[in-house]
């Protein structure tokens, strides 16, 4: 009964995680009910950029959103049309005031010692405002894009406020990595000041490998073990219980082995990507991935240490094998965290959610049929 309850709770848990992580950026509801055609979750500092580009007049409406902000932090987002870093950045700044409101203004950054003084930018900003919604600080602005271009380097940053004045931001890895590019017309973004095609391909490879291995094949292997490797006869595939159990065993081992090999490849590409991924979300994703790899490796080693059915250690081995298997499946929600970081086009997220939902539905049917039988 405990395993049955755990299965149902797992289905509910995965479904909730799927909705939460797959749609967090694109379905965010702004207080004014404004909708934006494009949105990207930036790789560090818990930030998101939303925008609407208007080709007819070369303007763009942007909403830069920083989550988890405090009352004592300034927030800024900028375009740099002459470089790729902070120097010469044309910034939109949100500064908290003593009365608890948020003030928005523009600042042209001329040097490293800037305190984000108020100044005009090298391009027009017809409208700018900011607001705090819960723990989010959002800067809204309309930009007249310079020189008819749509592709720019971008910078974003968060820092403390001292005596009502923006102070120097932190110099940790995340803060140093908060640069990239954005193309308002194509909705392309990239890290490190330009679009790195090879790195993006590596990200895509990592995502596909992990989604297939940890997110699809591993759960299929677990379902096989639960519904085909039972002593009690049940009419799933074969009339003979022994034949069904033997087939289920080899199918389970084959699927899990393929899943593990693909998972190791995905884990390796993740380690290669990890050096330049410094955001808090990336760290959580990485740590969960390492934990899954350890548990998955223990499962593979367990096959070599599998005692005979007559052994007194058989019951203990079964318990540990099932425990680590359940932990791997529960931690597979890490795929949704990865999707949120990678931010692929909607159809790929929808395809994965549809696959997981279908698997959950089939498992539910099998579980109900098992109870009835």
* pLDDT higher than 70, residue 146: yes
pLDDT tens column, 333-346: 888 888 776 666 56
For residues 356-361, average pLDDT: 86
Q: Is the domain of 97 the same as that of 16?
A: no
Say which range, 35-39, 92-96, 132-136, 245-249, has the weakest mean pLDDT.
Answer: 245-249
**What single string gives the DSSP state of each residue in 190-245?**
EETTS--HHHHHHHHHHHHHHHHIIIIIHHHHHHHHHHHS-SS---SS-SSHHHHH
pLDDT tens column, 199-254: 567 777 888 888 888 888 888 888 877 777 655 544 444 445 565 567 777 888 88
Q: What is the pTM of this model?
A: 0.49
Token pair recorded at residue 30: 């702004």
**Cα separation, 152 vs 106, whole angstroms:** 17
Region of 7 (left: φ > 0; alpha: ψ -120 to 50; beta: rest) is alpha
**Cα separation, 249 vs 241, whole angstroms:** 12
Amino acid 127: pLDDT: 92
Q: Is the domain of 318 the same as that of 332?
A: yes
* pLDDT higher than 50, residue 8: no
* pLDDT higher than 90, residue 140: yes
Among candidate residues 116, 186, 181, the one with its CA nearest the CA of residue 154 = 181
CATH number of domain containing 151: 2.60.40.1210
Does some domain include residue 276?
A: yes
Q: Is the domain of 182 the same as that of 207?
A: no
User: Which domain range does residue 132 map to?
Assistant: 35-191
For residues 280-307, average pLDDT: 80
Q: Is the domain of 217 the same as that of 80?
A: no
Beta strands (DSSP E) in 44-120 are 47-54, 59-66, 73-80, 90-96, 102-108
Amino acid 20: pLDDT: 40
Q: What percent of the chain has pLDDT over 90?
A: 5
Q: Residue 315 — very low, low, confident or very high, per pLDDT cuts 50/70/90? A: confident
Higher pLDDT, 31 or 129: 129
Amino acid 274: pLDDT: 64
Number of domains in the chain: 2
Of 126, 159, 191, the residue at which a domain comes to its end is 191
CATH number of domain containing 223: 1.20.120.1770
Q: Is the domain of 183 the same as that of 91?
A: yes
Other C-beta atoms closer than 10 Å to the C-beta of 274 total 16
């Amino acid at each position: 009964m405990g395993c049955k309850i755990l299965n149902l709770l797992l289905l509910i848990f995965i479904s909730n995680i799927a909705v939460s992580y797959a749609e967090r950026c694109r379905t965010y509801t702004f207080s004014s009910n404004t909708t934006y055609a494009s949105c990207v979750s930036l790789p560090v500092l818990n930030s998101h950029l939303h925008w609407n580009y208007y080709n007819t007049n070369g303007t763009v409406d942007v909403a830069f959103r920083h989550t988890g902000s405090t009352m004592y932090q300034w927030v800024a987002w900028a375009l740099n049309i002459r470089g790729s870093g902070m120097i010469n950045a044309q910034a939109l700044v949100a500064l908290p005031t003593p009365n608890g409101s948020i003030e928005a203004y523009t600042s042209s950054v001329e040097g490293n010692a800037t305190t984000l003084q108020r100044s005009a930018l090298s391009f027009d900003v017809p409208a700018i405002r900011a607001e705090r919604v819960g723990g989010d600080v959002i800067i809204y602005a309309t930009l007249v894009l310079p020189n008819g271009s749509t592709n720019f380097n971008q910078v974003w940053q968060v820092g403390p406020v001292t005596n009502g004045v923006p102070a120097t931001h932190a110099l940790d890895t995340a803060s140093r990595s908060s640069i990239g590019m954005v193309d308002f017309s194509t909705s392309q973004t990239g890290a490190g000041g330009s679009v790195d095609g090879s790195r993006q391909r590596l990200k895509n490879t990592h995502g596909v490998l992990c989604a297939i291995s940890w997110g699809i094949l591993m759960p299929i292997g677990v379902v096989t073990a639960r519904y085909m490797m039972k002593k009690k006869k049940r009419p799933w595939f074969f009339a003979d219980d022994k034949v069904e159990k033997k087939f289920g065993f080899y199918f389970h081992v084959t699927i899990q082995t393929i899943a593990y090999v693909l998972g190791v490849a995905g884990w390796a590409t993740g380690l290669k990507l990890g050096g330049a991924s410094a955001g808090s979300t990336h760290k959580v994703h990485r740590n969960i991935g390492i934990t899954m790899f350890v548990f998955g490796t223990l499962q593979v080693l367990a096959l070599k240490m599998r005692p005979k059915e007559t052994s007194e250690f058989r019951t203990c081995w079964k318990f540990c094998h099932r425990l680590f298997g359940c932990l791997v499946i529960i931690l597979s929600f890490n795929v949704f965290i990865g999707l949120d970081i990678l931010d692929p086009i909607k159809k790929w997220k929808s395809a994965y959610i549809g696959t997981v939902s279908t698997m959950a539905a089939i498992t539910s049917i099998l579980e109900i049929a098992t109870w009835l039988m």
